[in-house]
Structure 1
Amino acid sequence: MKELPGCIAPYKKTPEFTEENIPPGLLKDHTTKEGVWGKIMILSGSLEYTIQEPEVEIIELSPKKFGVVEPTIRHHIRPLGDVKFYVEFYR
């Protein structure tokens, strides 16, 4: 998994989601726009984060391990039991 570049800044944040109210679009493959990075922040519990490109990479995210979403790269998440998280967007 890549790291967030130092030359970007946050500009938007989602509401907090739980396993009960995750938007369906996050559970299936999707991408961010060109130039838009994401940071998946876990407040409690854990998520499985699957990056589809260039190779499939599956990472378990937790409060101690956040996920980095690269621009235009297909990915999805899956809750692993009870979870509370949000996504912060950077450009």
Structure 2
Amino acid sequence: MQELICYRQLPLWTHDSIPQAFQRKHNTKAGTWAKLTILKGELNFAMLSESGEIQSEHVFSTTYQPPFIEPQAWHKIVSTSQDIECQLSFYCKPEEYFSKKYQITPTHSEILAAMPHLHDGKALDVGCGSGRNSLFLSQQGFYVDAWDINKNSIQKLNDIIQSEQISNIHPAIRDLNLNPEIHDQYDFICCTVVMMFLDVC
């Protein structure tokens, strides 16, 4: 699971603060792994079938920690010791980190398909929106110029950049209908779901 990244961590739970929803049959979303860390006490845990039948039962503790729970696997917390202290974290693959953490559109499939053929360098993301492709490219070591006409999208991207302390993305408000020239040289230029909105060839 070394390729997974934690994108959200819930507050510490005790015996009285574990939400009821986690004590009933539930699962995680597609692309989301769950990791429960036991800090004190013991926890009884069950893996379930979709119909709710118990498939396996486990007792977890500080010395026998729960494994990662696979996406969409049904499970529940059965019971805990009175002194339980535990914390739940959610993980995802790197290409889904920003979409899950900041609720933006996932990295475009064509960008993911292109990555095996690319090396880090300088990239231009034309029509970057809130940065779904720019953020992924920055993870891969690219220095990214990110252009979009929508100032709200650029502001959201700037907010994410500040929150994550990213230094290799340079967002800019740019209307290609008014200023279509690209003067700099780039190792990779991406333009997804954009060309149909341009008035220029």
TM-score > 0.5, shorter chain as reference: yes
Distance 2:22 2:4 in 1: 23
* Aligned residue in 2 for 1:57: 56
Task: Indicate yes or no: 2:82 matched with 1:86.
Answer: no
Residues 9-48 of structure 1 mapped to structure 2, 5 A cutoff: 9-48=5-44
How far did 1:35 drift?
Answer: 0.8
Q: Secondary structure at the match of 2:22?
A: helix
Which structure shows the higher strand fraction? 1
| Separation (CA, whole Å) in 2 of partners of 1:64 and 1:10 | 22
Between the aligned partners of 1:17 and 1:48, the Cα distance in structure 2 is 15
**What's the RMSD between the two structures over aligned residues?**
1.5
Alignment of 1:7 onto 2:3 = yes
6-15 vs 52-61, greater mean Cα deviation:
52-61
Q: TM-score, normalised by structure 1?
A: 0.87
- What letter corresponds to residue 42 of structure 1 in structure 2? I
Q: Supply the distance in 2 between the matched residues of 1:38 and 1:59 (Cα, whole angstroms).
A: 16
TM-score, normalisation: structure 2: 0.41
**What is the number of equivalent residue pairs in this alignment?**
87
Q: Report % sequence identity.
A: 26
Query: What is the CA-CA distance between 1:64 and the residue it aligns to?
Result: 1.6
Name the structure 1 match of 2:195. Answer: none
Q: Which AA in structure 2 matches 1:60?
A: V
Residue 63 of structure 2 aligns to which amino acid in structure 1? K
Q: Is the deviation greater in 52-61 or in 63-72?
A: 52-61
Structure 1 residue 57, shift from structure 2 partner: 1.1
CA deviations on 1:32-86 (whole Å, 9 max, x unpaired) are 0011001110110010111114871111111122222111011001213320000
Large movers: runs of 4+ above 6 Å? none
Paired with 1:88 and 1:80, the residues of 2 have a C-alpha distance of 20
Gaps of 5+ in 2: 93-201
Opposite residue 90 of structure 1, the aligned amino acid is: Y
Runs of 5+ in structure 1 lacking a partner?
none
Give the secondary structure class of the aligned counterpart of 2:82.
strand
Deviation at 1:88, TM superposition (A): 1.1
The residue number in structure 1 matching 2:97 is: none
SS at 2:81 equivalent = strand
